[in-house]
Amino acid sequence: MIRLLFSLIILCSLANSSVFAQKNFDITGIVSDTTGEPLLSSTIMLLDTDSVYVDFSRSGPNGDFEFKKVKNGDYIIKITFVGMIPQHIPISSTGENIDLGVIKMTEIAEELMEIVVKAARAPISIRGDTIEYDATTFKVPEGSSVEDLLRKLPGMQIGQEGDITADGQDVTKVTVDGKEFFGGDPKAATKNLQAEAISKVQVYDTTTEEEEVTGQKDAGNQDKTLNLELKEEFKSGGFGKVIVGAGTEDRKELKGNFNRFNDKMQFSLIGVGNNTGRNGLSWDDYRGFMGSNSWNFNDGSDYGFGSGGGFIVRFGGGEDDGLENSLQDIFFSGNQTGFPEFLNGGVNFNYDHNKSKLSAYYFVNKKGLQRTTTSERETFLANDNALEESLNDSETDAIGHKAEFKWEQELDSLHTIKFTTRFAAVDNEGTFDGSSFSQFASENFPTNTTDYNNLNNTAGHLINGQILLRKKFKKNKRRRLGFNTSYQYSTVTELQDQMSLNEFFDQGVITSQQIINQNYDNLASKDLWKINGLYVEPISKKLTLQTFYNYSNRQEVGDRDVVDVNDNSETVNTFLTRDYENDITLNRIGTSLKYAHEGVNVSIGMAYQDFLLKGLYEGVSGSDLFGEVDNRYSNWIPNASINFSPLRNSWMSISYTVNAQEPSIRNLQPILDNSNPFYLREGNPELVPEISKSINSYLHFSRPMTGFRVYANLGYTSFTDQIITEETIDENLVTFIRPINYDGGSRFSLYSGITLPIKTNKLTIDLNIGGSSNNSFSIVNGVVNETKTTNLDPRIRLNITPSDKFALYLNTRYNRSAARYNINSNLDQNSSNFNYGVELNTDLVLGLKLNTDFNMNMYRNDRLGNDQNVPILNFSIYRQFLESNKGELRLSVFDAFNENISVGQFASNYFITRSNTTTLARYVMLSFTYNIKGMNSSNKKRRWH
Amino acid sequence: MALMNSNIKNNMKSTILALISTLALSLSAQDISLGTIHYDRTTDYSRIIDELPYLSAEQKDLQKLTRGNRELRASPYILSYSPDQTIYTYGKEERESNWSWRKDEFLIIHDMAAGTLSKQYVLGGKLYLLEDEAPRLKWKIENDIREIAGYLCMKATTYDPVKGQDITAWFSDQIPVSAGPEGYYGLPGMILMIEVNNGTAVIEATKVDLDAEPYELPKKIKGKKRNQEEYVAQIEKFLKDCIEGERNPYWDLRY
């Protein structure tokens, strides 16, 4: 009741005041130029004292304007007219109307007006006596000084001696970002500073010391001050870190990277050394190293149908000497089993300015590896099985160098040229010692045994050069022409000392003994030429015709010298010593019609390809070892694809591709390769290319608001003339292998997943399933063996992230493979690998944080009667310190249970293998990180941003 | 000598005045309150990522480094205007590639006569239509002037509290329509340029076409209806969730 009464009183008093005092007032005025001529249609804005826009009015024919019923208070009247200096008039009223009278507008100095209206489209700012230029809009040549820039500014004059005058007044002081530069000597700043660093130039009247004190303007003082505002560079920065760690078991790690960049140049260094088995290089490290060059995976590739049907000319499986590896292979290689030692380092430089792009890197990687593997292999024969047990000890040391230089130049807006050169060198050394033992499953004595001791030294280098040209056409930007040509030369020398003792048994009784002591000297070189062309012709707005041509020629020359060593005497081995020359030429021409409209992209095409394979194979003079291949294969290759987006945030594509893979020369040469006495190999000159026809489809759908996502990837491939092996295994378990063509193999694969957000950002579930089904053939001892392998790999993952302080990830994965053999269902086998993992990242007390991950791998194979569990627990406790978390001290325990072993399981159509490799197990490490930019302290795993 | 100098000066002065007056004349000859303005919009995703609060300084630098000097692609927009209404939508794009992407529906209709604003927007994969009274934007007028597409513009700034963006508008009182692109309006003239967060996104007029036919609206404007209050709540929640979940909201939401 009292409150109501009170309100009533207030209401009454308010009503009263509005009756007795004016709440509003009117403003009137007339706008004219300096001569008194009225200005029609000038804009008059009513602003509050913070310059916030309230209302506006336009002057009428007599230059008159008015604002009616303006609320009482303080305001600014701002009057603008094209070509005139805007005027500000502060006003204040408590109810009385204001008449501003005649407001005279002054013209903007014509030089200024000229820039504003037509010259540089430069924003200029006029604040009282200050005129501000946007320096970035005045173009000066690269490397120009501020002085050169000032010459370009209207109203600014630079004398012979570098004296500056602005609007005829001397500039006596130059400041940078408002601060005096080198004692305020105007010339020092303008001559020494780079024009590129300046964002704004401001000129205003210099306030003298006296004026500062008195606050009075001295009419006699006409001096000007020039202020240069520095650019706030967005595209510049740098980061870097150092990690040093030492642990038990003599484990060490050292890693450092450093990076500097601005909008033109990028420079980076990286170095990693460790003996922990972890590669120590990540995707972020790759990006940090390569900078703006990170995405150029696919420079100057062989042109083809484009999306939905790539085409790659892969020439024969070269030996894995690392020579043709890319830099990405080094950065993205996984953890290494065994006992490795890494040393990697490199330097990269990129330059990108105007029309030139340049990038260069050098990278060296050194890897030492010591490894012991035990393995079992079971080969299925028609009426028995062969078992092999082996042990392999290896020690390898490899060093590789890579360097690349790229230069891209935009010749004009339509033409671009690009040069690339690459260089690589490798030097690998290794010793491989071991033994193996073979027997029939039905017997319990050996059929043969081997002890071997091999030394290997490989060294080689590669150079590659490429020129690429891109052309657009003026009339229609969709018309394009691309052309590239490349040359690559590589040479590899391999020296091997092979020593082995092979024993053959009959019913457990030794029947023969073979000692092999051979020295190999292999020299192989390769010349590869490629020419590729592409032309895109727009037919209509929606249709284009894309035509491509590929030519490649590879010439291989090899020289293998083998000598048998017998009690210090060396004799040439006439079976194994040989020379070869291969010449392989591909010509391919194709065209496709493409439709693109409203998010639907369809392509249908056809190509014709022609392979010419020539090979010559020769033993030492006098031996009858001689082989020749001269085959020509021509194929039509169709291709079709469709890509579209059926719903918002969805994507779907279906493609049909055909691939014709030519047989390798090695598979064509009708010569027996007896370098391994237990696996004899002979080529087949009747081979024709393997044709695979594939249908692939991909579907993706997401709801970004909730994080929901579903995707599926399905693929089916069927083979005609698939190249398979025909094997004959004799009573001594010596295998004779010959490649043949066979129709009927197929492959089906599926990969799909769904992410279900249960509670946004707190709890999500990822479900994933991968699967494949393979139908493959092999011929063992004259019997066709059809094998169906199915593989199913479901995974579930729970992401529990209630806050920044705590994150828990649970995952489980089950991988099951089943193989079914039509020759003998008794051989059917199921193997499985069950894995579960827990990952926990959380804050502890005293600023300490904990990372834990536990992984349990369980391997099962019902045929081998195998049951093996490998539980691995890693955890580390760390604390970040220093300003913005620049420092981190971490204590880590790896493999706390000391159980690490690497297990491999593999089932093919006629054999299965299993292997165990001893691998670095438990160790404790203390490491310190210093990051110059500071680290993220969130416990959540990083996402793509 | 001095005489000659002043003569040149006078000459220049008259040229400029003539230039300005022809500009004004050509404007008055045609009805300037009807037309179509063509804009180019560029969005710098590298800057957007740089604004994300959950990334460390190193991660921000790393993405800048990787992007390098990649050129920003401009997409065309048009604003068809009359004294009563403006329609802002995609302009015709001359496709340079032979690939076509799906485009979401996008229209902003500002009815100045009725004081309403309709805006299509996509969020979380769904199309919405905001329909409500056009809220008053609080503009601060600054002292800079510049020329855009042949018109002299003045600078005004405001702050978008929903997306947390600093907005700079360049408007010209030579086009006496209180409107603009991208859902900005409320200044004593046409907005010819918008800069979001100091240039992370820039919408700049390239041409003012006074002869253009008015844009024909589709019969039905699609989208789930939302009012201003619901729109603000929805955007604010989305941004909060994204930032908390460490996802970039602007892969989905228009910046």
Using an 8 Å CB-CB cutoff, list chain B residues near A942: 246
According to the model, what pLDDT value does residue A901 have? 84
Q: A761 vs B59: CB contact, 8 Å cut-off?
A: no
pLDDT: is A508 or A876 the higher one?
Answer: A876
Q: Which of A349-358, A875-884, A935-944, B240-249 has the lowest mean pLDDT?
A: A935-944
Is the domain of B180 the same as that of B236? yes
In this structure, what CATH number is given to the domain that contains residue B55? 2.50.20
Distance, in Å, from the CA atom of A602 to the CA atom of A642, rounded to the nearest integer, reads: 4
Query: What does each C-alpha distance from B77 to A80, A596, B36, B42, B143 come to in angstroms?
Result: 29, 21, 10, 11, 28
- Alpha-carbon gap, residue A500 to A434, rounded angstroms: 9
Residues B14 and B37 in one domain: no
Residues A656/A693, Cβ–Cβ less than 8 Å: yes
Provide the pairing of β-strand A735-742 with A722-729.
antiparallel
pLDDT band at A26 (very low <50, low <70, confident <90, very high): very high
- CA dist., res. B38 & res. A881, Å (int): 53
* CATH number of the structural domain A110-209+222-230: 2.170.130
Q: Give me the helices (H) in chain B, please.
A: 2-29, 45-50, 57-67, 228-244
Looking at residue B80, its amino acid is S
Q: Cβ contact (<8 Å) for A288 and B64?
A: no
Residue from the list A123, A705, A943 with its beta carbon closest to the beta carbon of B125:
A705
Name the residue with tokens 């060593």.
A565
Chain A hits for B16, CB-CB cut-off 8 Å, are 83, 110, 113-114, 117
Cβ separation B9–A110 shorter than 8 A: yes
Domain at A253-744, CATH class? mainly beta
Kindly identify which residue of chain A lies nearest to residue B93, measuring between CA atoms.
Answer: A541
How much of chain A is helix, strand and coil, in % rounded to 5? 10, 65, 25
* A56, closest residue in chain B (CA to CA): B188
**Is a pLDDT exceeding 70 seen at residue A486?**
yes
| A328 pLDDT more than 60 | yes
Contacts of B186 in chain A (CB under 8 A): 53
pLDDT band, very low/low/confident/very high, at A426 (cuts 50, 70, 90): very high
Q: What is the mean pLDDT of residues A733-762?
A: 91
Give the minimum alpha-carbon distance from B167 to chain A in angstroms, rounded to a whole number: 14
SS3 call for A67: strand
Range name among A376-385, A745-754, A874-883 with the lowest pLDDT average: A376-385
Distance spanning both ends of chain A, measured CA to CA: 60
* Measured distance CA(A445)–CA(A387) in Å, rounded: 11
* Averaged pLDDT, A55-76: 92
Burial annotation A49-59 (CB, 10 A radius, 16+ → b, else e):
eebebbebbeb
pLDDT attached to residue A216: 56
B61, B100, B125 ranked by CB distance to A237: nearest = B61
Element (H, E) at A722: strand A722-729
- In A47-203, alpha helices (H): 110-117, 146-152, 186-192
Question: Do B131 and B184 belong together in one domain?
Answer: yes
- According to the model, what pLDDT value does residue A7 have? 54
pLDDT tens string A282-304: 888 998 999 888 877 556 577 88
CA A501 from centroid of its chain's CA atoms: 48
| Nearest chain A residue to B189, by CA | A43
The average pLDDT across A101-109 equals 86
- Counting the structural domains of chain B, the total is 2
For residues A294 and A359, is the Cβ–Cβ distance under 8 A? no
Q: Tens digits of per-residue pLDDT, A232-282?
A: 777 788 899 999 999 998 999 999 999 999 888 999 999 999 998 887 788
SS3 at position A310: coil
Q: With bands split at pLDDT 50, 70 and 90, how would you rate the model's confidence at A760? A: confident
Are A743 and A723 in contact, with CB atoms under 8 Å apart?
no
Q: Are residues B60 and B1 in the same domain?
A: no
Contact B59, B50 (CB under 8 A): no
Asked if A263's CB is within 8 angstroms of B69's CB, the reply is yes
Residues B58 and B26 in one domain: no
Nearest to A578 by CA among A442, A669, A475: A669
Q: Name the closest residue on chain B to residue A267, using Cα atoms.
A: B65
3-class secondary-structure state, position B107: strand
Interchain CB distance below 8 Å, A53 and B145: no
Q: Using alpha carbons only, what angle is made at residue A842 by residues A837 and A844, rounded to the nearest 5 degrees? A: 135
In 3D space, the residue among B106, B115, B164 whose CA is nearest the CA of residue B135 turns out to be B115
Range of the domain at B80: 31-251
Q: Do residues A423 and A463 make contact, with C-beta atoms less than 8 angstroms apart? A: yes
Cβ contact, residue pair B62, A239, below 8 Å: yes
A13 pLDDT above the threshold of 80: no
> How many interface pairs between A and B have CB atoms less than 8 angstroms apart?
218
- Does residue A287 contact residue B62 with C-beta atoms inside 8 Å? yes
Same domain? For B108 and B37 the reply is: yes
Closest CA to A27 of A62, A63, A77: A77
Residue of B nearest to A803 (CA): B244
User: Is A599 in contact with B56 (Cβ distance < 8 A)?
Assistant: no
User: What pLDDT sits at residue A183?
Assistant: 60
SS (H, E, C) A586-620: EEEEEEEEEEEECCEEEEEEEEEEEEEEEEEEEEC
B120 in the same domain as B16 = no
Chain B interface, best mutation among A82, A106, A801, by max B CB count within 10 A: A82
Task: Please name the member of B20, B98, B123 whose beta carbon is closest to the beta carbon of A82.
Answer: B20
Tell me the nearest-neighbour CA distance from A238 into chain B, angstroms.
7
* Range list of H helices, A464-503: none
B201 and B244: one domain? yes
* Residuewise pLDDT in 10s, chain B (255 residues): 344 444 444 444 444 444 444 444 444 556 888 999 999 999 999 999 999 988 888 889 998 898 888 788 899 999 999 999 999 999 988 777 778 888 889 999 999 999 999 999 998 888 999 999 999 999 999 888 888 998 989 999 999 999 999 999 999 999 999 999 999 999 999 999 999 998 899 999 999 999 888 899 988 999 999 999 999 999 999 999 888 888 889 988 899
Please report the beta strands in A760-886, taking only residues with DSSP state E, as ranges in sequence order: 763-780, 783-803, 806-821, 829-843, 848-861, 866-881
* B20 shares its domain with B93: no
Encoded amino acid at A77, one letter: I
Shared domain for B20 and B59, answered yes or no, is: no
Residues B152-193: pLDDT tens digits?
A: 899 999 999 999 999 999 999 999 999 999 999 999 999 999
Collect all residues of chain B within an 8 Å Cβ-Cβ radius of residue A58: 173, 176
Q: Which residues contact A89 (CB under 8 A, 6 or more apart)?
A: A76, A77, A78, A79, A100, A103
Question: Can you state the angle between helices B57-67 and A283-290, rounded to 10 degrees?
Answer: 50
B62 to A284: CB separation less than 8 angstroms, yes or no? yes
Tell me the pLDDT band of A87, cut-offs 50, 70 and 90: confident
Sort B102 into a burial class: Cβ within 10 Å, 0-12 / 13-18 / 19+: middle
Residue A38's alpha-carbon distances to A35, A60, A61, A845, in angstroms, are 9, 9, 8, 76
Q: In percent, how much of chain A has pLDDT > 90? A: 45
Q: Using a CB-CB distance cutoff of 8 angstroms, which residues of chain B are in contact with residue A352?
A: 68-69
Per the model's pLDDT, the better-predicted residue between A583 and A106 turns out to be A583
Q: What is the spatial distance between Cα A133 and Cα A201, in angstroms, rounded to a whole number?
A: 5
**CB-based burial label for A706 (10 Å; 0-12, 13-18, 19+):** middle
The pLDDT value given to residue B233: 95
Whether residue A32 has pLDDT greater than 90? yes
State whether A288 and B188 contact (CB < 8 Å): no
Render pLDDT for A506-545 as a digit per residue (tens, 0 to 9). Answer: 888 889 898 889 999 999 999 999 999 999 999 998 999 9
Looking at 2.60.40.10, 3.40.50.2300, 2.40.50.140, 1.20.1250.20, the CATH number of the domain A22-105 comes to 2.60.40.10
Do A117 and B94 make contact, defined as CB atoms within 8 angstroms? no
Cα distances from A576 to residues A616, A676, A679, in angstroms, run 15, 11, 14
* CA distance, residue B128 to nearest chain A CA (Å): 13
Instruction: Say if residue B160 is in the same domain as residue B65.
Output: yes
Has residue A17 got a pLDDT over 50?
Answer: no
CA B173, CA B192: separation in Å to the nearest integer? 10
> What sign for the dihedral angle of Cα B15, B18, B20, B23?
negative
Burial A486-503 (b: 16+ CB within 10 A, else e): bebebbbebebebbbebb
Choose the mutation target among B71, B100, B178, B253 for the interface with A, i.e. most A CBs under 10 Å.
B100
Closest partner residue to B147 among A117, A477, A596, by Cβ? Answer: A117
Residues of B in contact with A350 (CB under 8 A): 68
Range of weakest confidence among A192-201, A625-634, B198-207: A192-201
Mean pLDDT of A161-166: 82
**Banded pLDDT at A944 (limits 50, 70, 90):** low
Q: Which of A241, A478, A649, A706 to mutate to test the interface with B (most CBs of B within 10 A)?
A: A649
| Per-residue model confidence (pLDDT) at position A300 | 58
pLDDT tens profile A332-348: 877 778 898 999 999 99
Output the average pLDDT for chain A.
85
| pLDDT, position A215 | 52
The CA-based angle A347-A350-A352, given to 5 degrees, is 175
Partnered with residue A46 across adjacent β-strands are A55, A77
Confidence (pLDDT) at B21: 45
ipTM for the predicted complex comes to 0.84
Residues of chain B contacting A945 with CB distance shorter than 8 Å: 49, 52, 55, 59, 63, 246-248
List the single range of A427-441, A617-631, A735-749 with lowest mean pLDDT.
A617-631
Do both B77 and B95 map to the same domain? yes
Rounded to the nearest 5°, which phi and psi values hold at A667?
-75, -15
Beta-carbon separation of A292 and B241 below 8 A: no
Side chain identity at residue A635, one-letter code = N
Per CB-CB distance under 8 Å, the chain B contacts of A645 are 101-102
Domain boundaries, chain A: 22-105, 110-209+222-230, 253-744
Most confident of A90-94, A118-122, B165-169: B165-169
